[in-house]
A and B are shown apart, each in its own frame.
Chain A
Amino acid sequence: MTVADLKKGETGIITDSSSGDIPLKLLEMGCLPGNTVQLLQLAPFSDPMYLNINGSHLAIRKKTAALILIKLTHE
């Protein structure tokens, strides 16, 4: 699954973020394999997505979110 599939409040662990279409800036903000990502808020139409990635609070578009592969964590 990808970050785009997260529901509000859910957390996942990034398994792959090597797609060439993911901006480097996002990787530098902590979007790297092994780090956690939590969906905090959704704008209308579920886009953009407001995330907490490894402690960084940021918003990205759904299209980008769909490129980040994750594994859902159950807490």
Chain B
Amino acid sequence: MSKQINVALIGNPNTGKTSVFNALTGLNQKVGNYPGITVEKKEGICKLPRGVKAHILDLPGTYSLNASSLDENVVIELLLNKNDKDFPDVALIITDVENLKRNLLLFTQIKDLKIPTILAINMADRMNRKGIKLDLEILERRLNTKIALLSTRKNTGIDTLKDLINNYKTISTEPCLDTSTIDTEYFQNLKKAFPNQDLYKLWVVITQDVNFGKIDRNELAIEKFKTKSKSELKRLQQKETIKRYQFINDVLKEGQTIDTANARDLRSKLDRILTHKVFGYLIFFIILLTIFQAIYDWASVPMDFIDGAFASLSHWLKGVLPSGVFTDLLAEGIIPGLGGIVIFIPQIAFLFLFIAVLEESGYMSRVVFLMDRVMRRFGLSGKSVVPLISGTACAIPAIMATRNIENWKERLITILVTPFTTCSARLPVYLIIIALVIPEGRFIGLSYQALSLMLLYLIGFGAAIISAYILDRTLKIRRKTFFVIEMPNYKLPLLKNVVFTVIEKTKSFVLGAGKIILAISIILWFLASFGPGDQFNEADRIVKTEFANQQMDESELQQKIAAHKLEHSYIGLTGRAIEPIIEPLGYDWKIGIAIVCSFAAREVFVGTLATIYSVGNDDEETIKSRMSKEINPVLGVPLFNFASGISLLLFYAFAMQCMSTLAIVKRETNSWKWPILQLVLMSAFAYVVALIAYQLLK
């Protein structure tokens, strides 16, 4: 059996690494996580000539072997651990022809690890426009490697690259830089202490906190060898960087010519407008409006279709399958549960479509640049803007998007406040309550209901900003703040990359959050379909006796029985138990059940009420008319009135009701402390605000 060639794709961010990955693997790729951490692991298979296969691992983008984030750390850990099953036979360094000098720094570091290293120079289609000429022969000789000149946009050079991978054994593993020249005495001592270790690898280990495989840092007893202070080490790192650049400059002096007279500069023209003090913000605002419009308006067409399709599927199954527990589970538990996941796909796809286009085009960095100062005032970073915007779709990908915030405090605050932004799961709750309690009518041409919805979004965003400000003042974390963001060139987004991102993110939502939503729907169905004691099991008889004297048609009677059963089911008992707590907010036990269920995932609120009011399907109109008839047993007024409705809206705006988000926060902060803090503080705050609102308005 022929062995697969292990290839690691390595490169700076914004070099088109993902495009190269997509070009090599096509759709033959899978996305997972590295064990124990949430760094995305992308791998794929590439078919090479002569029947050889290559396993391609797309490592997170990094500027150098000195990690400043979790993502970058993954690269180093892999490259230092020969025993890892993914340890590369050959490393493929992706560079951008316009930033060759800077990109080569990483190349020299990887090559010094004595791994066969191929240099791929990407975006070759821009060379003419930028007046860049390369002498590949000289570059190959001086860098002691093989070079592929690529353009993923024009689809050239990929075959050359595949040939190079196939012949990786012919590539020299000679290092570029003799590390010991940085500080001869220090490295001589190091060699004496560890005669069997590679000096450069030792140096990499010493200068960062990496635990790897067998040769663990402590086992190496490097602690004893700490003859240099942190600042001395940093000075040496700086010296190393200077030496590397000297080498690179020498190489490029021979192998590269740039004729700036030929360069046409689109960047500065676009920058002048897009980062303008007035127009920059205006354009950003218009883009945001477009995204909102897409998520709420355009997405509603496919969403209505999905909603209808699942309702009819349930209905149809009930008709064709023999009646019984299994059919009920399928038609009332599993199918609506699946529907509850699929319905979010259009919104999530739209959001990631926009985010992918904004990122691919290079515009996102400009937003970060524009917003940094404003956000910093609230203890956030310009880089928090992306998570906060993403949070309007779903907090889960949003929290994952905080990873490129270098400063831990800013990152933590962003993670903690993102769940306040109005995610798409709150939307169905808002829509139905607004329709029930906010009167129709218009204010300067805008409907009250639309204004209420917008107000709720503003409240969510405001809560995020204000709590960030408070956290910034209270959290005692002193970390060196630093903020470096690359402003990449503007590029027309590649359709293939955008489509892949949308598919991949949607898939991870369906498989990740979807699993939990489905599980909860099934548990809910069980809890609502079974109950202890006679009141539940004898519901038929009890209701029939109770209404024996009244004229009632069969379907009405069946509804009464179903409602009676629900009241005495396990879930009904839970609702009853918490009724004293939520009564001051204007809710009854049925809303209580819906709220309890919402702590798993908010989107089950409407579905739960549908079950409770025994409305056959999830048709919003029917649930709505049913809800409007509901009377508060104590006060004798409609249960969903202005006061209780506002109270409910505010409760949903602030409460932390999403298990998946808590799970993601736990993973990203590596502690239960933060998710528990979020759960308790946000929910307590929601309770108090809802209480005040109801008591004032009732």
Is A59 interfacial (CB 8 A cutoff)?
A: yes
Q: Are B271 and A26 in contact (CB under 8 A)?
A: no
Q: Are A29 and B101 in contact (CB under 8 A)?
A: no
Cα–Cα distance between A59 and B382 once the two chains are bound (Å): 11
Which of A40, A43, A56 has the most C-beta atoms of chain B within 10 angstroms of its own C-beta?
A: A43
In the complex, number of A-B residue pairs with CB atoms less than 8 Å apart: 113
Q: Are A30 and B102 in contact (CB under 8 A)?
A: yes
Is A75 interfacial (CB 8 A cutoff)?
A: no
Rounded to whole Å, the gap between the CB of A56 and the closest CB of chain B is 5
- Interface segment out of the listed B182-190, B317-325, B485-493, B649-657: B485-493
Is A61 interfacial (CB 8 A cutoff)?
A: yes
Please tell me which one of the listed residues B235, B242, B372 contacts residue A61 in the complex, with CB atoms under 8 A apart.
Answer: B372
1/0 per residue, CB under 8 A from B, across A11-44: the answer is: 0000001101101111111101100000011011
Task: Output the nearest chain A residue to B362 by Cβ-Cβ distance.
Answer: A57
Is B275 interfacial (CB 8 A cutoff)?
A: yes
1/0 per residue, CB under 8 A from A, across B49-63: the answer is: 000000000000001
Please tell me which one of the listed residues B68, B482, B487 contacts residue A50 in the complex, with CB atoms under 8 A apart.
Answer: B487
Cα–Cα distance between A57 and B275 once the two chains are bound (Å): 14
Contact (A24, B238) CB under 8 Å given A32-B245, A41-B271, A63-B481: yes
Is B277 interfacial (CB 8 A cutoff)?
A: yes
Rounded to whole Å, the gap between the CB of A68 and the closest CB of chain B is 12
Is B194 interfacial (CB 8 A cutoff)?
A: no
Q: For A29, what are the chain B residues with a Cβ–Cβ distance below 8 Å?
A: 63, 102, 484, 486
User: Using a CB-CB cutoff of 8 Å, which residues 80-116 of chain B contact chain A?
Assistant: 99, 101-102, 105
Cα–Cα distance between A54 and B485 once the two chains are bound (Å): 15
Q: For A44, what are the chain B residues with a Cβ–Cβ distance below 8 Å?
A: 277, 373
Cα–Cα distance between A43 and B489 once the two chains are bound (Å): 18
Please tell me which one of the listed residues B235, B277, B484 contacts residue A26 in the complex, with CB atoms under 8 A apart.
Answer: B484
Rounded to whole Å, the gap between the CB of A13 and the closest CB of chain B is 15
Is B664 interfacial (CB 8 A cutoff)?
A: no
Q: For B482, what are the chain A residues with a Cβ–Cβ distance below 8 Å?
A: 21, 23, 25-26, 61, 64
Q: Are A60 and B484 in contact (CB under 8 A)?
A: yes
Q: For B241, what are the chain A residues with a Cβ–Cβ distance below 8 Å?
A: 24, 27-28, 32
Please tell me which one of the listed residues B101, B237, B268, B365 contacts residue A24 in the complex, with CB atoms under 8 A apart.
Answer: B237
Cα–Cα distance between A25 and B63 once the two chains are bound (Å): 7
Task: Output the nearest chain B residue to A47 by Cβ-Cβ distance.
Answer: B373
Rounded to whole Å, the gap between the CB of A74 and the closest CB of chain B is 19
Is A58 interfacial (CB 8 A cutoff)?
A: yes
Q: Are A25 and B64 in contact (CB under 8 A)?
A: yes
Q: Are A43 and B370 in contact (CB under 8 A)?
A: yes
Is B253 interfacial (CB 8 A cutoff)?
A: no
Q: For B101, what are the chain A residues with a Cβ–Cβ distance below 8 Å?
A: 30, 54-55
Is B231 interfacial (CB 8 A cutoff)?
A: yes
Q: Are B234 and A20 in contact (CB under 8 A)?
A: yes
Q: Are A43 and B102 in contact (CB under 8 A)?
A: no
Cα–Cα distance between A28 and B241 once the two chains are bound (Å): 6
Is B66 interfacial (CB 8 A cutoff)?
A: yes
Rounded to whole Å, the gap between the CB of B183 and the closest CB of chain A is 16
Cα–Cα distance between A20 and B275 once the two chains are bound (Å): 31
Rounded to whole Å, the gap between the CB of A7 and the closest CB of chain B is 15
Is B30 interfacial (CB 8 A cutoff)?
A: no
Q: Are A61 and B483 in contact (CB under 8 A)?
A: yes
Cα–Cα distance between A2 and B484 once the two chains are bound (Å): 17
> Interface size of B by Cβ–Cβ distance < 8 Å?
41
Cα–Cα distance between A58 and B63 once the two chains are bound (Å): 13
Rounded to whole Å, the gap between the CB of B316 and the closest CB of chain A is 57
Q: For B275, what are the chain A residues with a Cβ–Cβ distance below 8 Å?
A: 41, 43, 50
Q: For B484, what are the chain A residues with a Cβ–Cβ distance below 8 Å?
A: 23, 25-26, 29, 58-60, 64
Is B478 interfacial (CB 8 A cutoff)?
A: no
Rounded to whole Å, the gap between the CB of B564 and the closest CB of chain A is 63
Cα–Cα distance between A71 and B416 once the two chains are bound (Å): 43
Q: For B277, what are the chain A residues with a Cβ–Cβ distance below 8 Å?
A: 43-44
Which of B231, B275, B370, B482 has the most C-beta atoms of chain A within 10 angstroms of its own C-beta?
A: B482
Q: For A21, what are the chain B residues with a Cβ–Cβ distance below 8 Å?
A: 480, 482
Is B267 interfacial (CB 8 A cutoff)?
A: yes
Q: For B373, what are the chain A residues with a Cβ–Cβ distance below 8 Å?
A: 43-45, 47-48
Q: For B238, what are the chain A residues with a Cβ–Cβ distance below 8 Å?
A: 17-18, 24, 27, 32
Rounded to whole Å, the gap between the CB of A15 and the closest CB of chain B is 14
Rounded to whole Å, the gap between the CB of B371 and the closest CB of chain A is 8
1/0 per residue, CB under 8 A from A, across B221-252: the answer is: 00000000001001101100110010000000
Cα–Cα distance between A23 and B68 once the two chains are bound (Å): 9
Cα–Cα distance between A54 and B242 once the two chains are bound (Å): 13
Cα–Cα distance between A27 and B368 once the two chains are bound (Å): 21
Cα–Cα distance between A56 and B382 once the two chains are bound (Å): 20
Cα–Cα distance between A26 and B102 once the two chains are bound (Å): 11
1/0 per residue, CB under 8 A from A, across B274-298: the answer is: 0101000000000000000000000
Task: Output the nearest chain A residue to B230 by Cβ-Cβ distance.
Answer: A20
Is B369 interfacial (CB 8 A cutoff)?
A: yes
Contact (A20, B231) CB under 8 Å given A28-B105, A29-B484, A57-B486: yes
Q: For A60, what are the chain B residues with a Cβ–Cβ distance below 8 Å?
A: 483-485
Q: For A50, what are the chain B residues with a Cβ–Cβ distance below 8 Å?
A: 271, 275, 369, 487
Q: Are B271 and A56 in contact (CB under 8 A)?
A: no
Rounded to whole Å, the gap between the CB of B264 and the closest CB of chain A is 16
User: Using a CB-CB cutoff of 8 Å, which residues 459-484 of chain B contact chain A?
Assistant: 480-484
Q: For B237, what are the chain A residues with a Cβ–Cβ distance below 8 Å?
A: 24, 27
Rounded to whole Å, the gap between the CB of B177 and the closest CB of chain A is 14
Q: For A48, what are the chain B residues with a Cβ–Cβ distance below 8 Å?
A: 369, 372-373, 382, 483, 485
Cα–Cα distance between A58 and B484 once the two chains are bound (Å): 7
Q: For B486, what are the chain A residues with a Cβ–Cβ distance below 8 Å?
A: 29, 56-58
Contact (A24, B68) CB under 8 Å given A29-B63, A58-B487: yes
Q: For A17, what are the chain B residues with a Cβ–Cβ distance below 8 Å?
A: 238
Task: Output the nearest chain B residue to A63 by Cβ-Cβ distance.
Answer: B481
Please tell me which one of the listed residues A43, A57, A58 contacts residue B267 in the complex, with CB atoms under 8 A apart.
Answer: A57
Q: For B272, what are the chain A residues with a Cβ–Cβ distance below 8 Å?
A: 41
Q: Are B102 and A56 in contact (CB under 8 A)?
A: yes
Closest 7 CB pairs of A and B: A23-B482, A57-B487, A28-B64, A59-B369, A41-B275, A59-B485, A61-B483
25 A-B contacts, Cβ less than 8 Å apart? A23-B406, A25-B63, A25-B482, A28-B63, A28-B105, A28-B241, A29-B484, A30-B245, A33-B242, A41-B369, A43-B275, A45-B373, A48-B372, A48-B373, A50-B271, A50-B487, A56-B102, A56-B486, A57-B488, A58-B486, A59-B369, A59-B372, A59-B483, A61-B481, A64-B484
Question: Which residues in A have some Cβ–Cβ distance to B below 8 Å?
Answer: 17-18, 20-21, 23-30, 32-33, 40-41, 43-45, 47-48, 50, 54-61, 63-64
In the complex, given contacts A56-B102, A57-B489, what are 7 additional A-B residue pairs having Cβ atoms less than 8 angstroms apart?
A: A20-B231, A27-B238, A32-B242, A43-B369, A57-B487, A59-B372, A60-B485
